[in-house]
Amino acid sequence: AAAPPAGSAPDPAAVLRSRSYVVLLLFGAIVGVIVATVAYFFLKLIAEAQQYVFVTLPKDVGFHGAPVWWPLPLLGLSGLLVGLTIRYLPGIGGHKPAEGFRFSGPAAASELPGIIIASFATLSLGVVLGPEAPLIAIGGGLGALALHLLRRNALPQAVTLIAAAGSFAAISTLLGSPIVAAFLLMEAAGLGGALLGVVLVPGLLAAGVGALMFVGLDGWTGFGTFSLAIPSIPHFGSPTVAEFLWAIGIGLAAAVLGTGIRRSALLLQPIVERRMVALTPVAGLAVAGLAIVFAETTGRSSSEVLFSGQSALPSLIQNAAGWTAGALVLLVVCKGLAYSVSLSSFRGGPVFPSMFIGAAGGMALSHLPGLPLIAGAAMGIGAMTAVMLDLPLTAVLLVALFMSADALALTPLVIVAVTVAYVTSARLKPPAAPQPKVPEPARRAVASPPGPRSA
């Protein structure tokens, strides 16, 4: 379709009726099939690599189980691979997770190898980050690449639309539902205005097709759907006044904790970037050291601190009776510090570690009077997710679907915790640096450039 005249906004109704929009929808569905298939096997490859290096390999080299020092060489290797990838391959290995969760357009085709290698080295070797941000980048890059291969002179708007559809498809079931994926990308990209529906529909279609592909591939391979889900949770009744007061407290605590994690990561990031190849392995060793400290102190597995927490979160909540308050507090401290170091140096997504830390913190507080376990976990997940992502609507929806059995009763409490956490964290952020003042003559020249002189 031809581009609209400069300075004019396209008519959403006209766009929806156009033949080119229908073609984009169909192409978006095809891209959804391709990207979802790539994402499915990428996640399966990560899961197999984690199982091999942390469970099978120690037995192959003669140990009865992984020794306590086992994460050290693996996290050091992860740091070396990520550092080399960022240093020598095009791009920066994907977005920097310490700088927040934002969708800022498709990755160039030349950057895709670096994103894939850096994220695989991060996720498969135990770093405390999740797969959602790399999958969004890979899905968007593959969508844009497919459209460029089909039509080299495609309009930038069409490229952005198909890239967004690819990103939707890549995480269509990772967060438990295509609807959560849609909200996440919509809120992260700041979509809005009259064209919201026009932009969102291809992504929703691609996410739906991608979800079907995940389910179909699970039936065909038996590998699973890699979705965030909890099989069963304790029943929760009606909220009480005490629980609403706890929602305020949990929101405040999450704002302080999440802001500390993010600020520490942003302080470490420029230090590591100055000597990426040398210091990223050191960051990996620090993450491994925190996991070892937790394991030696509590007698539990170091894997509770390592990894994103996506697969461990359901069992953490279901097996809450076996956790003491002290062990949960130490888990929050060690995983929070490891999360901060991982954000500063590696490449991955911030969603699942924030959910895990929030759940553990809420469970620890539930040992105090007036706070049921499931309410504490739900409010902790929502509040920490809102702080770390700056996406309050996504945080509420994520908890509502994750805790679907008790969603109706829990949602008011989660909304209060998320609102308090979001507003408080915004107030804890340092003020933005003032913009340099432009001299008056220069400002006038920029605002009103001289036109051509008449003859």
* Euclidean distance between CA atoms 445 and 405, whole angstroms: 61
User: pLDDT grade, residue 434 (50/70/90)?
Assistant: low
> Which pLDDT does position 15 carry in this prediction?
67
| pLDDT band per the 50, 70, 90 thresholds, residue 407 | confident
* CA distances (Å), origin 312, targets 38, 136, 263, 360: 24, 22, 26, 11
Q: Which two tokens stand for residue 148?
A: 């460029």
With a CB cutoff of 8 Å and minimum separation 6, the contacts of 3 are 155, 157
User: Does residue 133 have a pLDDT over 60?
Assistant: yes
CA angle 105, 106, 107 (to 5 degrees): 125
**322 has a pLDDT exceeding 50:** yes
* pTM of the predicted model as reported, rounded to 2 decimal places: 0.86
Cβ partners under 8 Å of residue 121, min gap 6: 77, 78, 81, 82, 85
The CA-based dihedral angle spanning residues 7, 12, 18, 20, taken in that order and rounded to the nearest 10 degrees: 70
pLDDT digits (tens, 9 = 90+) for 292-308: 999 999 999 999 999 99
CB atoms within 10 A of CB 152: 7
Q: Is the pLDDT score of 229 beyond 60?
A: yes
Query: Which residues share a beta bridge with 349?
Result: 130
Distance CA 302, CA 299 (A): 9
H/E element, 218: helix 196-221
The widest CA-to-CA distance across the chain, in whole angstroms, is 90
Q: What is the mean pLDDT of the chain?
A: 85
pLDDT at residue 238 in the model? 78
Are the C-beta atoms of 241 and 404 separated by less than 8 Å? no
The answer to whether 11 and 197 are in contact (CB under 8 A) is no
